[in-house]
Structure 1
């Protein structure tokens, strides 16, 4: 099923529930309403802003559908911004007079012969209005470039809501459809063609006035001398429906979009279900798992338990019997591209497939102990900002990488190799390997690669510390952590530990760095033996066990370099060892938390 077909079907379900506008109408933002007397004189200007919050918020109203503007002048019907309606703008206003003249001409022609009191008042207003009148009360500069509508004095309904106005909007829509007929690529039915496709609003980073999902504005995008929408024949009705459904899904703070973009992609999702309640249950579960970051402990524990059950093979209908079996689900990622939108990813499958993929994703990320500030199931955005973004800024998440990771998360395929490279690169750049976030991501990438590969025969990396995991990188990471522990035990808080100085070099070229680390470590152990002999014994016992895994070779005991996968295992071994307490027969314990009083980075 194509994107537009899925959106068209979603519109019909929304229409049955009365949640979307009818053809010929669209929701638009308004801040002001001009109140007219029956003779067309201005009585008042009504402020429509919601003033209950810290900042005034515009009001969303359903009005006759906005026209698609490109570079030409095209007025809306019964409403528009002040440049069109009043001939005034806050900008340079090079073509404001032409815009106002187009609005005036359109309405004088359309309203000629109408006898409705409200429409007659509007025609009289436009006949007598001059832009200079704006400088007088009740008009104010705050109105400039905002959308304005009209209302007749003594009535609460707006002018466009009057029965005569609605009938006129319907007649105009019917007249616009007399342009020939095409076979619609979305529905297969015949109908008037959509020359310009709807404007889509709400995509992060796109133009605030909206952008096009389907457009043909250059000769390179056309064929056989066809112009604009003729290159992909779509009926006006189907174009309206998919546009209305998409704008509904993109509503800010709506239940069908992730709160934060993934990279540069705004992500929306929806379920196909006969009953609205069944669809909302699927939407809610998906949002909580994919965009979790749940702060409530009880809800976090419930989500974590459900994911673990699904990951162990329990059917979704057993874990969540309230979600209808066989429910179809769609996920769409849209990225800004000047005045157009790019589809970063489009996935459509049964909801159970997505639930299984999400459960497997979080199972692959599992570490013991959990990384600092992990929660129940961190969102993809938070995962990427903690492991791939410079300075921990969401804007610095690589957009292409984000799209590939999201696709892997939702399909269960291998994570991109670039995710492994990016996580290791951030560790080399100074990110803390002690938080565990990078280790979790690296473990997930490597384990999924090995699970899906028919060539790689390496065993999967354990969730917690495994002293018998005989990988050179893993054991070197453990060794590095123990020497850091010795440094902490000997010196306490220091401005720069060996992790700060040598982590990147030790994980990439061990032979060049570990001799220095070992030499310094022996000095630290000498001091610990004098001041804390119990701790010294624990550290030396651990060093002896780790060193037993290394076999001398032609180049010495340390490898000259580690391949990328082994550098990843180095980070995991470091985290596993650092998070593990060392105990002796007397019950004495030593851990990084005891020997290390530094505070790791806070959650992004």
Structure 2
């Protein structure tokens, strides 16, 4: 199924999705009108989100697209249009309000509907200099809706009246063209509604489908006629996507620069409506927990019942077990549940599609289990299984999300979910960060191992934990470097201005021949000094160095002039394993033989 078709289909089964021709918008003020057009009441429309009060989300007639042009919305708009007032006191406010008034005069025309008549009378009588008499200062720039005062209390707004609905639907007559999304005929959307909620994108929204230059058009068609999508289908796919991308929707996550929307669709023969929706919600929650959220986040007691099945299902997937079995307490998730994942990123006035996956939950579970095996490292991260964005932060300067290399997040996530090779930019970026800051932690070591296993098929050469029998050159040199560092630390203590890792890790991992002779000489001095202090620890370190050197091939130079990227990754992995082994073993004076 195509991306737009899947979104249009999702819109149709959303229980609270706006009707065709409508969209969700934040409305801050409702004006109650008397039948003579006078203002009966002005009320804020607010809801509490956390500690803040924000305008309520209402389904209103779909907004028009505007940048610098003056174009009013239907039966609602910002105060600059609906009342001719804004915080900026813009000189264009009068023109905006006049356009709003004239548009509704032309749209409504002659009518006997009390609500529409009251609205026209209000527009004819209204003057912006009356704003302070009816409205609070903080209501400026809010979106405003109108209602008859008697219907306002029941939250029936002007556009909900049958006469207003008839006007809104009047422009949809005619057979139109064949829609490329639904296959049905209907009026073509020349301009598609704006998509909002893209991290880093335009606040006013942007488009996936647009034709704003002649170079993008063909055969004399203009704008949306180049790719006919019906107005209803355009409003549906944008409505679904805006709903998924909204904060707190449960259908979005942020991975690097990619805003990711995801949703599930259980098979129709899976069970009744309640069971299908329950399975879909669980599948979506497990997906979010796997790739976005922190497993060790604090859980309120009332959330424990909801969190437990998610954790259990996620652990089963990581262990490559069925999501549910006869002993499981979690609801069943069918492997055939369709699962859709869409990654989007801003690109000037447009939205770039980073990736699109139309697959099954079973396939995603299998690929995520494989990813978990790839990333397994010993010793593991002390903070538990990291989320994907934690790993991505290891590729960024200063560990900041906004510094994650462009495209990397989307390419890596697509590889994880599709089970394909990881992007090689992931390997080169991690190696570059290690050379820059000298940090080889569990997360970076796990990334190095994962790329070696999947891309270079080094299942044996890139082990989970320390492998004393590993004979790969890069791995041995990494272990040797860690041993030299341990000798320096044991002899001089930790109050050293710059360790050998700070000075030599980058060159040692890329050009060993230039560095290891220097390290070998320095190590001899460190071991000599250590022998006077803790001879037992000196013996242990010398034994480790000898064991590593014995694994070197006698027919090859132990210190080659350069190491390719894969061997540099093995160097980092060997360094991490050996250094961790020293900490675990804790060569200490208590282990030394008695000196008489």
Q: TM-score, normalised by structure 1?
A: 0.88
Q: Deviations over 1:532-573 (max 9, x none)?
A: 12211211111111111224668x541111111111100000
Unaligned runs of 5+ in 1: 452-456, 595-604
- Tell me the distance in 2 between the aligned counterparts of 1:283 and 1:203: 20
Match of 2:90 in 1: 93
Match of 1:569 in 2: 570
Task: Identify the match of residue 169 of structure 2 among 141, 166, 174.
Answer: 174
Match of 1:309 in 2: 319
Unaligned runs of 5+ in 2: 269-275, 299-306, 592-596
Q: Deviations over 1:88-117 (max 9, x none)?
A: 223362432222111101223334443444
Match of 2:141 in 1: 145
Q: Deviations over 1:338-380 (max 9, x none)?
A: 222111100111211111111111110111111343x23x222
- Tell me the distance in 2 between the aligned counterparts of 1:301 and 1:537: 47
Match of 1:504 in 2: 506
Task: Identify the match of residue 68 of structure 1 among 65, 69, 74.
Answer: 65
| 1:356-367 equivalence runs, <5 A | 356-367=366-377
Task: Identify the match of residue 336 of structure 1 among 337, 343, 346.
Answer: 346
CA deviation after TM superposition for structure 1 residue 24, in Å: 2.1
Cα RMSD after superposing both structures: 2.5
Match of 1:449 in 2: 455
Task: Identify the match of residue 263 of structure 2 among 267, 270, 274.
Answer: 270
CA deviation after TM superposition for structure 1 residue 316, in Å: 4.8
Match of 1:13 in 2: 13
| Secondary structure of the corresponding residue to residue 247 of structure 1 | helix
CA deviation after TM superposition for structure 1 residue 118, in Å: 3.4
**Structure 1 residues 159 and 108, CA gap change in structure 2 (3 angstroms):** farther
- Tell me the distance in 2 between the aligned counterparts of 1:157 and 1:338: 43
CA deviation after TM superposition for structure 1 residue 269, in Å: 0.7
How many residues in Structure 1 have an aligned counterpart in Structure 2?
568
Q: Does 1:391 align with 2:392?
A: no
**Structure 1 residues 367 and 97, CA gap change in structure 2 (3 angstroms):** same
CA deviation after TM superposition for structure 1 residue 185, in Å: 0.7
Q: Deviations over 1:20-75 (max 9, x none)?
A: 11112221102222333333233443222336754432211122222233553221
Contact 1:290 1:358 in 2 (8 A): no
**Structure 1 residues 321 and 36, CA gap change in structure 2 (3 angstroms):** closer
Pick which of 321-330 and 113-122 moved more: 113-122
Contact 1:371 1:437 in 2 (8 A): yes
- Tell me the distance in 1 between the aligned counterparts of 2:314 and 2:173: 57
Q: Does 1:590 align with 2:596?
A: no
| Secondary structure of the corresponding residue to residue 399 of structure 1 | coil
| Secondary structure of the corresponding residue to residue 482 of structure 2 | helix
Contact 1:330 1:348 in 2 (8 A): yes
| Secondary structure of the corresponding residue to residue 420 of structure 1 | helix
Contact 1:368 1:463 in 2 (8 A): yes
Q: Does 1:36 align with 2:33?
A: yes
CA deviation after TM superposition for structure 1 residue 77, in Å: 1.4
- Tell me the distance in 2 between the aligned counterparts of 1:242 and 1:116: 33
Contact 1:118 1:159 in 2 (8 A): no
Match of 2:477 in 1: 476
| Secondary structure of the corresponding residue to residue 581 of structure 2 | coil
- Tell me the distance in 2 between the aligned counterparts of 1:530 and 1:207: 67
Match of 2:198 in 1: 203
| Secondary structure of the corresponding residue to residue 323 of structure 1 | coil
Match of 1:413 in 2: 420
**Structure 1 residues 51 and 174, CA gap change in structure 2 (3 angstroms):** closer
Task: Identify the match of residue 531 of structure 1 among 525, 530, 533.
Answer: 533
Q: Does 1:130 align with 2:127?
A: yes
Q: Deviations over 1:466-499 (max 9, x none)?
A: 0111011101110111111111111222232211
- Tell me the distance in 1 between the aligned counterparts of 2:314 and 2:331: 17
| Secondary structure of the corresponding residue to residue 442 of structure 1 | helix
| Secondary structure of the corresponding residue to residue 580 of structure 1 | helix
- Tell me the distance in 1 between the aligned counterparts of 2:392 and 2:284: 23
Q: Does 1:286 align with 2:287?
A: yes
- Tell me the distance in 1 between the aligned counterparts of 2:365 and 2:173: 47
Match of 1:597 in 2: none
| 1:177-188 equivalence runs, <5 A | 177-178=172-173, 180-188=175-183
Task: Identify the match of residue 161 of structure 1 among 157, 161, 175.
Answer: 157
CA deviation after TM superposition for structure 1 residue 147, in Å: 0.9
Contact 1:159 1:165 in 2 (8 A): no
| Secondary structure of the corresponding residue to residue 319 of structure 2 | helix
**Structure 1 residues 50 and 11, CA gap change in structure 2 (3 angstroms):** closer
**Structure 1 residues 333 and 490, CA gap change in structure 2 (3 angstroms):** same
**Structure 1 residues 53 and 564, CA gap change in structure 2 (3 angstroms):** closer
